[in-house]
Amino acid sequence: MGAIDLANKLRQRFDGLAEPSEFRGEVTLVLNDAEQIEPVCRYARDQLKFDFLVDITSVDNDEETPRFTIVYHLYGLEHHCLLRLKTSVAEEVSELPTVSGIWRTADWHEREIYDMMGVRFRDHPDLRRIIMWEGYPFFPLRKDFPLAGKHSEIPEVAFTEPAPMEGGPFATSPGEQDSMSAEPRVKTPDEEDE
């Protein structure tokens, strides 16, 4: 039984799952109701033998609605199939159920998504920042976070000035004199008026 067959078994069991799609041998299944992610994942593990959570990632869709897409990569060690589950969360909600009770490794993945994107996981056993310090008011992987960084109001904890842009791995516009002038999100309001 292949990943498409397993995805279709999930669709038979749960409402709100779109038709599975396949690209380059990888199967993706979109779940329209993020509140169902926990029972869908539990069924995938217990009944369909997706016993390994490879990763959970997040995508900031910026100005689209819903803003965030959470992506679960599941793998079955017995049948060697990979299944990608996607669900979306609106910025106003920014919360969905945890799957850390299904796969223990979800604990750190969910904490990282919370820390970097601000999406919360309800009933998570220890939802706190994992990279940034507690009290940091921003979410650095959101698309509206400037690549140059933001000023910190907490002296002696981290940088109090934005991190320098020179020499970093930044997306820049070709033809500019340096990386600072090429980065559109770092321009000052005076420069934008020109």
Q: Quick: pLDDT tens for 40-75.
A: 999 999 999 999 999 999 999 998 999 999 999 999
Q: Is 20 helix (H, G, I), strand (E, B) or coil?
A: coil
Structure pTM?
0.79
Instruction: Give the separation between CA 89 and CA 65, rounded to whole angstroms.
Output: 9
Could you tell me the residue ranges of all domains in the chain?
3-139, 146-194
For the record, the structure tokens of 100 come out as 């850390």
CB of 102 closer than 8 Å to CB of 42: yes
Q: Is 131 exposed, middle or buried (0-12, 13-18, 19+ CB in 10 A)?
A: exposed
Q: Is 82 helix (H, G, I), strand (E, B) or coil?
A: strand
For the record, the structure tokens of 123 come out as 């009933």
Query: What's the CATH fold of domain 3-139?
Result: Beta Polymerase; domain 2 (3.30.460)
Q: Quick: pLDDT tens for 86-141.
A: 999 999 988 999 999 999 999 999 999 999 999 999 999 999 999 988 888 889 99
